[in-house]
């Protein structure tokens, strides 16, 4: 159940109650694609880094170790030793982004594994069955991720197919949740809004999927190369048609500035590989701006990455040491930098929530949008 506790214009402070605990929103979901954060971060580290929700990927886990293996081991929570909510992406994005040869039909998508080339079929029922085996808290509907830009005629056709697939996802989840053998019979289902950057398609699609009364709704197919202004325009156009009593999830976004602006437009949930991926290359987010520790000016800098930060890395290690680890290609560099960036993102959300609670979110936005996007 989702509850809106406080609003400031469109920005919302809420709670999402699940079988695996309550999520305080707005929230950032930390991406653990294969059941772990790249950078040597385990489930116990995530708690120390203030993570509320882990996001894992259906497609990757279905290939390795296999969703039936995870099921036989008690589900993803037991497999990872993580007792907080997990959201599983449907695998749709990976099917369309990683598979070089694919054939889309009404029943689903035929493609080849990016690992060894073996033939795979995935449709709505297959995606939901895999996610049920993983026993995640929240499952995402299987959708078609259309390349952007795309001809409007094809985008419209794809939206209709995605709606039909959504009904099949819902029906399959209801069937599986009723079985005695299902690990998590309380699994939730989120639908996904598509329509490229065509506002009329986006709105029509949102109106259609809202009729299903699902547990939450996502905006997909953005942050794939379009200007940020276009992304904000689409969010602003679609948001009035999203159910006010359900959580709103902006998939694959984004930078700290993107998150602040999307909260301003009414979004509740986010995910992105950016904090961990950028960290592994030495790009760190701080309350002063974006810092690249590969820069030579940090070679003798014994200060923390961010003087305001209380993450384990900033409490214990200097910029000079971490730069040395990065330049020496030590694995420890990944762990220390990823720790910092995840802690930054999670505490960013804490500050956003506090600002909405106190009615100062617009002041927070005005102060930090110019700061957090600049390179220092």
Rounded-to-integer distance, Cα 129 and Cα 170, Å: 11
C-alpha distances out from residue 325 to 293, 310, 318, Å: 10, 20, 11
CA angle at 57 for the pair 56 and 63, rounded to the nearest 5°: 125
Strands 2-8 and 11-18: antiparallel
Read off the pLDDT of each residue in 61-85 and give the average, rounded to a whole number.
Answer: 98
Smallest Cα–Cα separation from 344: which of 47, 35, 24, 50? 50
Categorize the per-residue pLDDT at 91 as very low, low, confident or very high, splitting at 50, 70 and 90: confident
Q: Which two tokens stand for residue 66?
A: 């296999």
Which pLDDT score, from 0 to 100, does residue 124 have? Answer: 97
Categorize the per-residue pLDDT at 291 as very low, low, confident or very high, splitting at 50, 70 and 90: very high
Rounded-to-integer distance, Cα 309 and Cα 330, Å: 23
For 301-342, the pLDDT digits (tens) are 999 999 999 999 999 999 999 999 999 999 999 999 999 999
Strand order in 11-18's β-sheet? 2-8, 11-18, 21-25
- pTM of the entire predicted model: 0.97
Per DSSP (E only), the strands in 37-130 are 54-57, 86-89, 102-105, 108-112, 119-122
In the chain, domain spans: 2-272, 279-372
Active site residues: 89, 271
Which pLDDT score, from 0 to 100, does residue 96 have? Answer: 74
Categorize the per-residue pLDDT at 101 as very low, low, confident or very high, splitting at 50, 70 and 90: confident
Count CB neighbours of 128 within 10 A. 28
Read off the pLDDT of each residue in 261-278 and give the average, rounded to a whole number.
Answer: 98
Per CATH, the architecture of 2-272 is what? Alpha-Beta Barrel (3.20)
Strands 27-31 and 269-271: parallel
High-pLDDT (> 70) share of the chain, %: 99
C-alpha distances out from residue 231 to 184, 227, 277, Å: 35, 7, 22
Which pLDDT score, from 0 to 100, does residue 43 have? Answer: 96
Mean pLDDT of the chain: 96
DSSP 148: S
Q: List 271's β-bridge partners, or say none.
A: 29
Read off the pLDDT of each residue in 337-360 and give the average, rounded to a whole number.
Answer: 98
Read off the pLDDT of each residue in 231-240 and give the average, rounded to a whole number.
Answer: 98
Q: Which two tokens stand for residue 42?
A: 């385990």
Residue 132: is it exposed, middle or buried by C-beta count within 10 angstroms (0-12/13-18/19+)? Answer: buried
Phi-psi region of 41 (alpha: psi -120 to 50; beta: other; left: phi over 0): beta
Instruction: Indicate if the pLDDT at residue 360 is higher than 80.
Output: yes
Cβ 230 vs Cβ 263: under 8 Å: no
Q: Which two tokens stand for residue 53?
A: 């929700």
Which pLDDT score, from 0 to 100, does residue 99 have? Answer: 65
Read off the pLDDT of each residue in 220-244 and give the average, rounded to a whole number.
Answer: 95
Rg (CA), the chain: 20
Instruction: Indicate if the pLDDT at residue 189 is higher than 80.
Output: yes
Which residues have C-beta within 8 Å of that of residue 230, sequence separation ≥ 6? Answer: 197
């Amino acid at each position: 159940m989702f509850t809106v506790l406080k609003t400031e214009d469109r920005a919302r402070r809420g709670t999402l109650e699940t079988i695996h605990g309550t999520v305080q929103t707005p929230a950032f979901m930390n991406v653990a694609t294969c059941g772990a954060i790249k950078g040597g971060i385990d489930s116990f580290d995530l708690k120390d880094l203030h993570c509320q929700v882990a996001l894992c990927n259906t497609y990757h886990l279905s290939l390795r170790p296999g969703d039936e293996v995870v099921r036989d081991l008690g589900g993803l929570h037991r497999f990872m030793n993580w007792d907080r909510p997990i959201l599983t992406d449907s695998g749709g994005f990976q099917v369309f982004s990683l598979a070089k040869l694919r054939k889309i039909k009404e029943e689903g998508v035929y493609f080849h594994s990016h690992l060894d080339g073996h033939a795979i079929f995935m449709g709505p029922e297959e995606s939901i069955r895999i996610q049920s085996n993983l026993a995640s808290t929240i499952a995402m509907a299987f959708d078609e991720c259309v390349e952007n830009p795309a001809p409007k005629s094809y985008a419209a056709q794809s939206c209709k197919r995605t709606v039909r697939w959504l009904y099949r996802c819902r029906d399959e989840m209801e069937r599986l949740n009723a079985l005695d053998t299902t690990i998590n019979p309380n699994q939730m289902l989120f639908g996904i809004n598509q329509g490229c950057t065509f506002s009329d398609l986006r709105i029509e699609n949102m109106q259609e999927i809202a009729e299903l009364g699902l547990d939450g709704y996502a905006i997909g197919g953005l942050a794939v190369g379009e200007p940020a202004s276009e992304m904000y325009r689409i969010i602003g156009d679609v948001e009035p048609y999203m159910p006010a009593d359900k959580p709103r999830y902006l998939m694959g976004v984004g930078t700290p500035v993107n998150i602040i602006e999307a909260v301003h437009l009414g979004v509740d949930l986010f995910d992105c590989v950016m904090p961990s991926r950028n960290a592994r290359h030495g790009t760190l987010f701080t309350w002063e701006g974006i810092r690249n520790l590969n820069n030579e000016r940090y070679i003798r800098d014994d200060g923390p990455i961010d003087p305001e930060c209380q993450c384990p890395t900033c409490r214990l290690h200097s910029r000079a040491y971490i730069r040395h680890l990065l330049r020496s290609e030590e694995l420890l560099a990944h762990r220390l930098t990823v720790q910092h960036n995840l802690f930054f993102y999670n505490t960013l959300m804490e500050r956003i929530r506090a600002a909405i609670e106190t009615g100062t979110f617009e002041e927070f936005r005005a102060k930090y949008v110019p700061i957090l996007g600049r390179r220092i």
